[in-house]
Amino acid sequence: MSHDAVLIIDFGSQVTQLIARRVRETGVYCEIHPYQKSEEAFARLRPKAVILSGGPDSVTREGSPRAPQSVFEAGIPILAICYGQQTAAVQLGGVVEGGHAAEFGRADIEIREGSALFEGLWEVGKRYPVWMSHGDRVTQLPEGFVVKATSENAPFAIATDEARRIYTTMFHPEVVHTPDGGKLLANFVHRIAGLKSDWTMGAYRAEMIAKIKAQVGKGRVICGLSGGVDSSVAAVLIHEAIGDQLTCVYVDHGLMRKGESEQVVSLFRGHYNIPLVHVDASALFLQALDDVSDPETKRKTIGRLFIEVFEKEAGKIGGAEFLAQGTLYPDVIESVSFSGGPSVTIKSHHNVGGLPERMNMKLVEPLRELFKDEVRALGRELGLPEAFVGRHPFPGPGLAIRVPGAITREKLDILREADAIYLEEIRKAGLYDVIWQAFAVLLPVRTVGVMGDGRTYDHVCALRAVTSVDGMTADFYPFDMNFLGRAATRIINEVKGINRVVYDVTSKPPGTIEWE
């Protein structure tokens, strides 16, 4: 691709991906690379600007991470955030010290002087909320730097060398907790670096179709459909590029939400007329999961069976030499993150494992440069139905991890009905697109209740709904009691096997894992 690019050098912050997402939201292409590999990435990418991320290390520790010195000598704009500010200060002749008061969470900065970084955004003499996360602090700025803003525990909350176009912040502009952070990043890439907003899904679609055609030629491609947005968008994009050279295999494990398997088959066979092999393996999966309670064992069992069934079906399709996967950019980032860094996540939480190398097929990964929200935008560009593209995220193991404890077909059927009613009520209230993810869980407890003139001993259903802009932090959605009462009443009245409903109000701050 020929887009102007920003290089983000990752020092291990758990929110580095958010920097890239904010930059992409401005219409500018960017890539994340760990600091150990950033020199090579800098030479290859030839970026028009560089952003240094935060990180958990201390600049005062001998051997702590550093940015390539060539970045500071290139004469291009630099934005250094938190740890990035500290390593930039040390590498350019300043001083960083530990032992001062730390600053974690919300803070206010006071603007002391104007800067191109926040031109048209913040005014001198006024205070603005930001999000801090640091223990060390810069105590002496390099020559040429001027303090632009301070906070109670960060005397150099913003410090810049306007002549060299180096801008540093002690706070994190990429997180939603810094209200104007996205605008500040937009100022950096547009006002300071002068980059164009040419990163669009229309351009990506055209470029990727040409790339797929060149890679595949006259060959045949197999795509494993999971029923989710990622693999579906990848399949439709590949089909647009090579037509019936693509065959999709949908392994139905019997753990989908109500009506979703039918929707997948209808969409691909009916709407797009894409060759599709639908394998109903639900009996096989349920038999293997019988009496399995541990969630990790569930995931591994589902992953192993998925691979076995897919590999068997793929073997029936003669002449296929390419395998399509819905790999996303966060998967690519995680695969190269430096060992032990907080940006490395436990991928098995949401996924069930990749396909084995023994299949010996060349990979086609048309989404590997995109974030989830960009995949949805590409899906809309390709004409996928909004009800499908905008669907709430769904984990690879499906309902298996929304039935804590042992799984039975009866429990799955009960949960499907409760979940469908819950989502129907959310849609009727006009809240589906406001909420990032909502789902029901069938808890591994039963309670005694009285319904009408009879006594019951049935399951408890938990409802969960969260709002999020990045998928990394989340807060529970504040339903009013009328909605909760209406949804709970419908579930209890219409779903045999449930006599109590509870609502989960747990929030998800940065760095935690969703309890599902």
So which residues are the catalytic ones? 82, 172, 174
CA 373 from chain center: how many Å? Answer: 8
Q: Do 460 and 498 touch, CB atoms closer than 8 A? A: yes
Sign of CA dihedral 303, 306, 310, 313: positive
Amino acid, single-letter form, for residue 148: K
Sheet strands (E) in 69-205: 78-81, 95-97, 103-111, 127-134, 137-140, 146-151, 154-161, 166-169
Q: What DSSP assignment string belongs to 151-177?
A: ETTEEEEEEEETTTTEEEESB-TTSTT
Rg (CA), the chain: 25
Q: Which of 429, 350, 424 is nearest to 387 (CA)?
A: 424
Q: Do 230 and 367 touch, CB atoms closer than 8 A? A: yes
What is the distance between the alpha carbons of residues 328 and 334, in angstroms, rounded to a whole number?
A: 10
Amino acid, single-letter form, for residue 358: R
| 348's tokens | 């098995």
Q: Do 360 and 398 touch, CB atoms closer than 8 A? A: no
Pairing of strands 454-467, 475-476: antiparallel
What is the distance between the alpha carbons of residues 431 and 386, in angstroms, rounded to a whole number?
A: 15
Q: Which of 494, 421, 400 is nearest to 463 (CA)?
A: 421
Amino acid, single-letter form, for residue 452: G
CB atoms within 10 A of CB 487: 25
Alpha-carbon distances, residue 149 vs 108, 133, 139, 157 (angstroms):
10, 16, 14, 5
Amino acid, single-letter form, for residue 362: K
The 3-state secondary structure of 349-380, one letter per residue: HCCCCCCCHHHCCEEECCCCCCCHHHHHHHHH
What is the distance between the alpha carbons of residues 184 and 20, in angstroms, rounded to a whole number?
A: 14
Query: Locate tokens 């390419």: which residue?
Result: 322
Q: Could you give the count of Cα atoms lying within 13 Å of 154 in the half-sphere of its Cβ?
A: 36
Question: 187-190 — which CB contacts under 8 Å span 24+ positions?
Answer: 187/116, 187/117, 187/118, 187/119, 187/120, 187/121, 188/49, 188/51, 188/77, 188/79, 188/117, 189/6, 189/23, 189/26, 189/28, 189/49, 190/26, 190/28
